[in-house]
Structure 1
Amino acid sequence: MSASPRAENALLEVADLNVVLDSPARRLHPVDGVDFSIAAGETFALLGESGCGKSMTALALTRLLPESGRIHAGQVRLGGDDLLGLSEAGMRAVRGGRIGMVFQEPATSLNPVMTVGDQIGEVLAQHRGLEGAARQAEVVRLLAAVGIPDAARRAADYPFQFSGGMKQRVMIAMALAGEPELLIADEPTTALDVTIQAQVLDLLARLQAERGMGMLLITHDLGVVARSADQVGVMYAGQLVETGARDDFFRAPLHPYSRKLFAALPSGAQRGGPLEAPEGSVPVLDGDFPGCRFVERCPLAFDRCDDEAPDWASVGAQRVRCHLYEGVSIPRALETREANYAAAVARKQQAPVLEVRDLKVHFPVRKGVLKRVVGQVRAVDGVSFSLVPGRTLALVGESGCGKTTVGKALLQLIQPTAGEVFFDGENMVGQPQKALVEMRKAVQMVFQDPFASLNPRMRIGDIIEEGMASLGVGDSAEARSRRVDALLERMGLQAAMRWRYPHEFSGGQRQRIAIARALAVSPRVLVCDEPTSALDVSVQAQLLNLMRELQQEQGLAYLFVTHNLGVVDYLADEVAVMYLGRIVEYGAVEQVLAAPAHPYTRLLLAAVPKADGEGGAGGGAAASAGEISKPEVELPSPLKPPAGCHFHPRCPQATDICRVTYPTPTVSHSGHAVSCHWPLQRL
């Protein structure tokens, strides 16, 4: 029975698609009999964990498989044309023209020696025939459309001069440059903060309405699916296991795996307890599966699931690959395991392990033959906070506000311009490298881009073990090896994967490896720069459970840089909201998220997409009050921040004093602080 009964008048038709990856040791089947269709103007969302075959499906549609990969069987038709029958020259005309693609990792997809304007211009010349001033004007228009401030100037910049979120926006502009009939978006909003995410999703929706463009949206964010998708397909271990309309899927997800994805979503309601993450990981796709591929992780499995692969069953307009919907069966008894998930006893007030006072990081802007300094980019402009053992401080804000720079400046990977960073009471700013060794043993960082932070020439077991060996962690090589295996298992990977190289893993799996490396040396502080941004919800839940357990057991302090406010609500104790290099609101997470005082905080909350199937964005107090609407004014450049309150050009409550004077912080008796002349809540 086909999973795609809507093939009539479809823009894209995929039938029985099978992909094989050959190697001397084994043969993998990452895509194994996938069927779906996408109509013009429709968005089909593909959900699933890292390693389940989502990205490989997208690469197969455009015939961009790795060298060891080949399409073993199936059909792919775009507007009735057989893409698998085209010559390579014919496919080059399709890629970037009729099909645009946004890849998962923009840092590895952009040419580092070409300006972003030239890279977008190549697409415009190849597929639209634009040259000269017309091409340059279109480049600027596309960059502005995806939220790049000062687009005319930034078009002359190189990829390394952009943050991770801004590089993703450049990739989206490049994909849209050819005015495609079909856009394949592989995690297009993963690296974006919530406000830019909302703008990008609105932009894609508008372009679909104008052009009738179809979209294959690959994502792990159920909120993005709720906001943008028309049809949903859930993928597991190389197969689609559930398909249906968005509203039906969110109203009643059918497959046990789909229900686990919803249960794994973090929120404040689950604070202090574990998230319901599915145990284990996606099985290795190197053999035959006699039964259901989800059987080892399914809490509802019964004997038939072991021996017989389920066929498609229809439940109304939804389709599901599960024996539960073929008749009445007796579920297998669940295995129970003892686990202590009781909330940790409140810790006594402790001295901060790290304390930051008035930290500033300014980057000089040089021009001319003599490279004279003509300005300063105020990436961090007077930030203060402390990290206490056993507690988590979340640092939130839009891309480019300085969050990542704060984390790097703590470790002096970037030299602070001014301010103090105290480690166990000693100021580390300006100290020689030898004096920083002890701090760097105790403070580890998980970087935003896992591919760039992992040595491509080392096996991942050696990558994880390298830090332990250099810092003297572990009694012997055997003990370190056992710890590597245990960390990989806790990260949802397999110990046998230690012999693979980084390029053999998906983006989400590489992020787990980077986290395992940081945890390997038993640090006291973890600086986590978007550690869950590349993870699907089930692996994210596993990671958050692990981080919460480690914090309770070892008293770790976390600085958690993120744009996922659901994660903040679940994991953080305090939250600092950052805008253009400064903290504009700070306080306990319950206070800030339930009663945000700064207009910018309410803007962030209002932009969060909800996983409720209603297709709109919203969040808590901000959404219900309706006082803050998404502004048309883009994020100002930190090179020339606005006078007065930096947020006033985007604030609906701004008055004359906001335009001339930066507000001093107002602090309540509970420690809730806000820098605003007219806070929205009385502190």
Structure 2
Amino acid sequence: MIGFTRVTGLPDASRPLLEVKGLRVEIALASGVLRPVDGVSFDVAAGETLALLGESGCGKSMTALALNRLLPDAASIESGEVRLAGEDVLRLPESRMRGVRGGRIGMVFQEPSTSLNPVMTVAAQITEALALHRGLRGAAARAEAEALLQAVGIPDAARRLDDYPFQFSGGMKQRVMIAIALAGRPELLIADEPTTALDVTIQAQVLDLLVRLQRERGMAMLLITHDLGVVARMAHRVGVMYAGELVETGPRQAFFQTPLHPYARKLFAALPDGSQRGSPLDAPPGSVPTLDQVFAGCRFADRCPQAFDRCDDEVPPWHQLGAQAVRCHLYETVSIPRPLAQRMTGSGFVRSGRQMTPLLEVRDLAVHFPVRKGLLRRTVGEVRAVDGVSLALVLGRTLALVGESGCGKTTVGKAILQLIAPTAGEILFEGENQAGASQDALLAMRRAVQMVFQDPFASLNPRLRIGEIIEEGMHSLGVGEGPAERRRTVDGLLERIGLSSAMRWRYPHEFSGGQRQRIAIARALAVSPRVIVCDEPTSALDVSVQAQLLNLMRELQAERGLAYLFITHNLAVVDYLADEVAVMYLGRIVEQGPVTSVLKAPAHPYTRALLEAVPRVDAIEEIAVGAALAMSPAELPSPLTPPTGCHFHPRCAKATDICRVSYPAAQGMVGGHWVRCHWPLTNAVKRVSD
């Protein structure tokens, strides 16, 4: 079972293992010099986790790369010290640094798909590290590689050693990355966004794994993240970065009870939850300033609601308030702000419940992919990616589709737009069936229905500037009266999604992953659609940019009556934005209903497990090791050979014999909430026909 392991006390730290003092990194560009890391100082003790928290572009990842001396060619470390157990690694020759990098310092990169070599087996990649850092080769190296895969929780490790990265799921690839990082028995592990874009159950497994390995091996850990829930669960201490410098540090519990810096308090205010439904999130306006300038005052002043004249002209000094330290002029008199107010626990704003005719309706949608083998490519089976899904999208309302990676959510979205041909079922747009229609017949629907894809880098043309990318759809569909109006629309969209209009001349590769995702969203919004299918639109965004985006989507829905199909694994976003939620497992919907009903009183064990796996910022007290989820940590079964009976029964703690032989019928509950489960429900439940 998956255990919720929460870090509690600080380890014994007579002397820090890692000491960083005055670290400065500069990047030489034709247009000037960038300073992504500008005078950063911190330390980490053995067995301790320090979380670096902040928005994209604040310098967190560049700090981690500098510690490993893995900077891009145009970048250099201008000053500072990085001492590992007293030895300054910045002064080591490259021949000795190769023993530190991957040996004494292990690193888990943000995107395992691009970090793992696609043409090398997992065994080859792990044994390469073992040979370099521990001198192991042959049978000894293979045995150790197998032990590492077992340690990170990959089942059948001996067989999977000879698999290639593409044969692993996203969560398993991240585990392979951790195994490679551990091969050199590191004293310090740097984890750069280790759970970004992972669904909540896999994230829970990876975080538990990191905590367990840290405790077993006594490693120090530098955790880089923008997820406050992950920080609350993992960190001993927190450092908040903004625009290349640290602005606040302190113990985890003190930080979560009373964040001091206005920027840190804005990050908490930007977190979505159900109590704020119908109200805008209090996100900081604008974006992180460009780092090619010399700052005269506080770097957050332009976005700070409490800024005054001195903030513009004078760099704030550090102030120590108990165990916390903050860089802000507001603390000249050493006054401590009130702790963050507890959020409301009511149901929040609820939209009108009157029935409306769906603009887009899906009935019994099925998407099956044939599996062919042999010289004649005969069909020997089929992957049931989507197996009888029914949904209805109403103007002005949001339907969220949630579930683990591999359950078929994205396939549903693509099938609605006929980007994947449905095997069976109906797709009704304004009452007309679009399934199997010609390209000309689909034109009207495709003008009204847009999609934001999960991977923005793959969906943006690398040869076009982003202004051209956003304007391309407007031009082809005849949106806007002329080039000047289209340019004004593009500039306005860029400002509303947290970028500046001056960025319209840049190419996609000049933006971070989160910024590219915002550009993809702006492109979909530019043609004034009536329905938007959003496939994980916030998965790579930090909390402040996510809040800006959610505010924008909510405003556009109110102004234009947009319908959203919101595909996501972020249940906090669902609680804030959605009117209705459908929970999908292995190609089928297992529970659906109003969001306030499903998330507050989930009826299906799978829905309960998803909710229990979410890291919470309001739960920073100790939780005993071994508190279990209501779900086995086993991987999602293959849709090629789904389990008999209820597809969830191999992972369900409440499964009985009937679950193994019979797929459950739909059972209706109060207020349009229904579930497919044999597990006994309340007496208020009545059976309805399929």
Are 2:257 and 1:251 equivalent residues in the alignment?
A: yes
| Residue 287 of structure 2: aligned partner | 281
Give the Cα–Cα distance (whole angstroms) in 2 for the partners of residues 560 and 274 of structure 1. Answer: 18
Give yes or no for contact 1:23–1:68 (8 Å, CA) kept in 2: yes
In the superposition, relative to structure 1, how do residues 601 and 12 fare at CA in structure 2: closer, same or farther (>3 Å)? same
1:553-632 matches, cutoff 5 A = 553-612=559-618, 614=620, 629-632=630-633
Residue type of the alignment partner of 1:426: E
Cα deviation per residue 1:83-141 (whole Å; 9 max; x = unaligned)? 21233343333333322222223343333444555444543444445555665666566
Q: Secondary structure at the match of 1:451?
A: helix
| Residue 646 of structure 2: aligned partner | 645
Residue type of the alignment partner of 1:508: G
Are 2:107 and 1:101 equivalent residues in the alignment?
A: yes
In the superposition, relative to structure 1, how do residues 553 and 21 fare at CA in structure 2: closer, same or farther (>3 Å)? same
Give the Cα–Cα distance (whole angstroms) in 2 for the partners of residues 460 and 221 of structure 1. Answer: 27
Give yes or no for contact 2:400–2:574 (8 Å, CA) kept in 1: yes
Give yes or no for contact 1:220–1:536 (8 Å, CA) kept in 2: yes
| Residue 85 of structure 1: aligned partner | 91
The TM-score, its normalising length taken from structure 2, stands at 0.89
Are 2:224 and 1:223 equivalent residues in the alignment?
A: no
Give yes or no for contact 1:18–1:31 (8 Å, CA) kept in 2: yes
Are 2:519 and 1:513 equivalent residues in the alignment?
A: yes
In structure 2, list runs of 5 or more residues that go unmatched.
1-11, 338-347, 686-690
Task: Identify the match of residue 20 of structure 2 among 14, 18, 30.
Answer: 14
In structure 1, list runs of 5 or more residues that go unmatched.
1-5, 332-341
Give yes or no for contact 1:21–1:28 (8 Å, CA) kept in 2: yes
Give the Cα–Cα distance (whole angstroms) in 1 for the partners of residues 366 and 136 of structure 2. Answer: 44
The more displaced of 467-476 and 263-272 is 467-476
Residue type of the alignment partner of 1:237: A
Give yes or no for contact 1:105–1:507 (8 Å, CA) kept in 2: no
1:396-545 matches, cutoff 5 A = 396-545=402-551
Give the Cα–Cα distance (whole angstroms) in 2 for the partners of residues 371 and 96 of structure 1. Answer: 44
The more displaced of 398-407 and 531-540 is 398-407
Task: Identify the match of residue 54 of structure 2 among 31, 48, 55.
Answer: 48
The more displaced of 85-94 and 130-139 is 130-139
1:352-431 matches, cutoff 5 A = 352-367=358-373, 371-431=377-437
Are 2:189 and 1:183 equivalent residues in the alignment?
A: yes
Q: Secondary structure at the match of 2:36?
A: strand
1:158-307 matches, cutoff 5 A = 158-159=164-165, 164=170, 167-307=173-313
| Residue 336 of structure 1: aligned partner | none
Give yes or no for contact 1:187–1:219 (8 Å, CA) kept in 2: yes
Cα deviation per residue 1:587-636 (whole Å; 9 max; x = unaligned)? 00011011110011111111111102515689xxxx9xx99545344432
Residue type of the alignment partner of 1:483: T
Give the Cα–Cα distance (whole angstroms) in 2 for the partners of residues 483 and 537 of structure 1. Answer: 26
Give yes or no for contact 2:388–2:588 (8 Å, CA) kept in 1: yes
Give the Cα–Cα distance (whole angstroms) in 2 for the partners of residues 375 and 79 of structure 1. Answer: 57
Are 2:656 and 1:655 equivalent residues in the alignment?
A: yes
Could you tell me how far 1:23 is from its partner in structure 2?
1.0
Are 2:44 and 1:23 equivalent residues in the alignment?
A: no
Could you tell me how far 1:30 is from its partner in structure 2?
1.0
Cα deviation per residue 1:368-412 (whole Å; 9 max; x = unaligned)? 555554443322222111111111111111122222222222222
Residue type of the alignment partner of 2:514: G
Give the Cα–Cα distance (whole angstroms) in 2 for the partners of residues 140 and 581 of structure 1. Answer: 33
Give the Cα–Cα distance (whole angstroms) in 2 for the partners of residues 434 and 160 of structure 1. Answer: 37
Q: Secondary structure at the match of 1:70?
A: strand
Give the Cα–Cα distance (whole angstroms) in 2 for the partners of residues 641 and 599 of structure 1. Answer: 18
Give yes or no for contact 1:123–1:178 (8 Å, CA) kept in 2: yes
Residue type of the alignment partner of 1:497: M
Give yes or no for contact 2:631–2:653 (8 Å, CA) kept in 1: no
Give the Cα–Cα distance (whole angstroms) in 1 for the partners of residues 256 and 66 of structure 2. Answer: 28
In the superposition, relative to structure 1, how do residues 282 and 575 fare at CA in structure 2: closer, same or farther (>3 Å)? same
Give the Cα–Cα distance (whole angstroms) in 1 for the partners of residues 376 and 465 of structure 2. Answer: 45
The TM-score, its normalising length taken from structure 1, stands at 0.90
1:315-334 matches, cutoff 5 A = 315-327=321-333
Residue type of the alignment partner of 1:639: L
In the superposition, relative to structure 1, how do residues 596 and 347 fare at CA in structure 2: closer, same or farther (>3 Å)? closer
Give the Cα–Cα distance (whole angstroms) in 2 for the partners of residues 82 and 478 of structure 1. Answer: 56
Residue type of the alignment partner of 2:48: E
Task: Identify the match of residue 58 of structure 1 among 24, 43, 64.
Answer: 64
In the superposition, relative to structure 1, how do residues 278 and 215 fare at CA in structure 2: closer, same or farther (>3 Å)? same
The more displaced of 528-537 and 260-269 is 528-537
